[in-house]
Chains A and B, each alone.
Chain A
Amino acid sequence: MIHLLTSNWNEFISGFGWTLLSSVLALFFSLIVGSLFAILEVVPNKFLRIIGNIYVEVFRNIPLLVITMFFYLVIPLYVVKINGFTAGTIGLTIYTSAFIAETVRAGINSVDIGQMEAARGQGMTFWQAMRYIVLPQAFKYVIPPLGNQFVNLVKNSSVLAFVAGFDLMYQGNAIASQTFDTVNTYIIVGVFYLIITLPISYYMQHLERKLA
């Protein structure tokens, strides 16, 4: 197994890097996109609210793989050429943003409605009240689960393997089918994933216990 690791070290490390990069980018963008759609879900305008709702429900109920393959195979055919890594990261972003939108919306709803009304009464617009009063409080609910969201992202980023996204799983598949040492290759791949996910997961458990 050590020989397997050392002789394919570059591939494993580059896969590890792409996995990490894709997850970090997707987390960052899905936070932005997710918050936007969460706000859409609570604005007074009914039309915007429906759009927000549709976005969240659609992308929460379709497999990530379908979304990713759509971006990899269909978008380049008609819109713009994107490679597997980009398609995978966009897929991850859209998928995750629908879940983040739900968390942010719950956060917004948890802020007392009186605060919004008071702010409006003071002459603030809806957006100002949202920006300065409601969102900062809502994000208190959003930030802690982000760690878990990141763990999910790292795990889900394995769909990049389906679209030649150069990630850890893609490299693992390539190495396994060249060395024929399938099980050991996947054990190494698993350890690489755990290096990222396990510490975050334990830290989150620790945080939850502290807060409880």
Chain B
Amino acid sequence: MKRLKYLAVIITSLLLVFTLTACGSQSLSSQNIYENDKKSKTVTWGVKADTKLLGLVDVKDGQEKGFEIDLAKAITKKMYGKDAKAKFVTVTSQSRIPLLKNGNIDAIIATMTITPERQKTIDFSNSYFDAGQSILVKDGSPIKKVQDLNNRTIIGVVGSNSVQNVKKFAPKAQVLQLPDYAQALTALKSGQGDALTTDNVILAGMAVNNPGYKLQGKAFTTEPYGIGINKGQTDFKSAVNKALSEVENDGTYNKLIIKWFGNVPGFNYKEVLRNDSSTNK
């Protein structure tokens, strides 16, 4: 019995030490992510795994592919040189902000709109893409515009601002929030809702390989996508912004737009092209 008592004392003190060291660990705000990444020559990006054209895991090799992935790689190279590496962590709309705040990732490039609510919690780079919220419906659906969704069911994704936006346009719509876009689209196909709402560019990606479904009506909001960065990381933020405008000015940006969106029905890529050097945002 005596020995067990010793054991008890040891375990309790171990727990205590663990908690204390945990609390004492360097807090995120005091770290300089720009300098850390410079040393490791790696930027860890939070990206989507389920969004065709933007960020999608390829079944063939398990790699993430899409416009945001390529853009993240280009920005990383502009920031830290040709041999710098972009590391990718797949996130969902629900997990991206907690992961950024916790420091699992250095930046979010995952179809995230710059909104005032989010700006209270995190910082954004300049916008890197201009999307707009729209709806995806089945061919022949009676829904012509977002206002038609009153008293109907609309599907969205947890953590996206689309679910809050749609309530402004169709206050009587019932909104179902699913964990990710793959499930949201499948739920739409299963008839769980009358329309799926999110940004037009994501919906266009869905429409590509789902014949029988189409983007309906004009985009009813503007959704400038920004790279999410932790508050207080001013060095990192200005480096990202500088790299982004370089990518836009040297024509890389437009090349990527044409590569990913050049041939997407229902989506006019010319609207999102950024003129070389004329749009210095």
Contacts and interface: CB of A to CB of B under 8 A. Distances in A.
Nearest to B102: A182
Interface string B230-250: 000000000000000000000
A83 B192 contact: yes
B177 A73 contact: no
A178 B177 contact: no
Interface in A159-173: 161-164, 170, 173
B121 interface: yes
A84 interface: yes
Interface in A164-207: 164, 170, 173-174, 176-178, 180, 182
Nearest to A81: B191
A176 B192 CA distance: 24
A110 B191 CA distance: 47
Contact of A72 (B120, B159, B190): B190
Contacts, number: 58
Interface stretch (B21-29, B92-100, B127-135, B253-261): B92-100
A162 B98 CA distance: 19
Interface in A4-18: none
Contacts of A84: 176, 192
A74 interface: yes
A73 B190 contact: yes
A84 B93 CA distance: 20
Contacts of B94: 173, 176-177
Interface in B183-197: 183, 186-187, 189-192
Interface residues of A, number: 22
A37 B78 CA distance: 65
Contacts of A164: 155, 176-178, 187, 192
Given A174-B158, A177-B93, A74 B98 contact: no
Interface residues of B, number: 24
Interface string A68-97: 010011111100010110000000000000
Contact of A73 (B101, B117, B118, B187): B187
B177 A180 contact: no
Classify the interface of chain A: helix, strand, loop or mixed: helix
B13 interface: no
Residue with the highest number of chain B CB atoms closer than 10 Å, among A69, A81, A161, A182: A182
A76 B192 contact: yes
Nearest to A83: B192
Nearest to A77: B190
Given A162-B183, A173-B177, A180 B192 contact: no
B164 interface: yes
Contacts of A182: 97-98
Nearest to A87: B192
Contacts of B178: 162-164
Given A173-B94, A180-B121, A72 B187 contact: yes
Interface in B155-172: 155, 158-159, 164
A176 B176 CA distance: 16
Interface in B77-130: 93-94, 97-98, 101, 117-118, 120-121
A83 B153 CA distance: 11
Nearest to A170: B177
B192 A173 contact: no
B164 A178 contact: yes
Contacts of B93: 177
A76 B190 contact: yes
Nearest to B179: A162
Residue with the highest number of chain A CB atoms closer than 10 Å, among B93, B159, B179, B192: B192
Nearest to B94: A177
B126 to A, nearest CB: 22
A177 B159 contact: yes
B231 to A, nearest CB: 12
A77 B191 contact: yes
A35 B50 CA distance: 42
B179 A74 contact: no
13 contacts: A73-B190, A76-B192, A77-B189, A81-B191, A162-B183, A163-B178, A164-B176, A164-B192, A173-B94, A177-B158, A178-B117, A180-B98, A180-B118
Interface of A: 69, 72-77, 81, 83-84, 161-164, 170, 173-174, 176-178, 180, 182
Given A164-B187, A180-B118, 11 more contacts: A73-B186, A76-B191, A84-B176, A164-B155, A173-B159, A174-B158, A174-B177, A176-B98, A177-B93, A177-B159, A182-B97
